[in-house]
A and B are shown apart, each in its own frame.
Chain A
Amino acid sequence: SYVLTQPPSVSVAPGQTARITCGGNNIGSKSVHWYQQKPGQAPVLVVYDDSDRPSGIPERFSGSNSGNTATLTISRVEAGDEADYYCQVWDSSSDQGVFGGGTKLTVL
């Protein structure tokens, strides 16, 4: 089955840029979606189809995808961005959804 690999944690100071990676075999050929989850809350979609943002999501959130790595970039990080972030793809070879293990973003 298809595997997505994320770093367990990323730390960044307020105002700086956070980059969270999601690795997978030829992930650049798939559409990657990113979710933000704060403690005790349901996940929220922050980027879909590699780099599109749902309405209401700040422009500070952006995504890219190429080769074996997709990246969620959060610019001008704020304290409120502290959360777990998950990448997700649809694996057409098995007709199944797949999540990465999640990355905890800490704002120092």
Chain B
Amino acid sequence: QVQLVQSGAEVKKPGASVKVSCKASGYTFTSYDINWVRQATGQGLEWMGWMNPNSGNTGYAQKFQGRVTMTRNTSISTAYMELSSLRSEDTAVYYCARVPHYYDSSGYFPYGMDVWGQGTTVTVSS
């Protein structure tokens, strides 16, 4: 079945970096974008960015520009999200999600996030 399986929980100190993985199975990894979304405890969903696993192209939310890097290893169908200079406010559950999409002359058109990983809890604490 189609699924995204994320790496386990992380505890980091302020100023450190964290790298979360997202392994895809049951579909062609390079045919769908991967988005990353996070959610602090008791808060709403926050979009972080997207990556096209085929080209490696990425786009990040302004809030995370300069701190986030999204990459992939197509040989093992795995996407990665690395967040640096961690602070306590980055404590959250981080999700990867699959996004069907198409391009035409007008631009880029993503559909909804149709498959989600189980989430990875990242705790930033001294």
Contact = CB atoms under 8 A, between A and B. Distances in A.
Q: Counting chain B CB atoms within 10 Å of each CB, which of A48, A49, A90 scores highest? A: A90
B35 to A, nearest CB: 6
Interface residues of B, number: 24
Interface of B, helix, strand, loop or mixed by DSSP: strand
Interface of A, helix, strand, loop or mixed by DSSP: strand
A42 B118 contact: yes
Given A42-B95, A48-B111, A99 B46 contact: yes
A95 B109 CA distance: 10
19 contacts: A1-B62, A31-B109, A33-B113, A34-B112, A35-B45, A42-B117, A42-B118, A43-B37, A43-B95, A43-B116, A45-B114, A48-B112, A54-B114, A86-B44, A90-B110, A92-B108, A94-B62, A96-B61, A97-B61
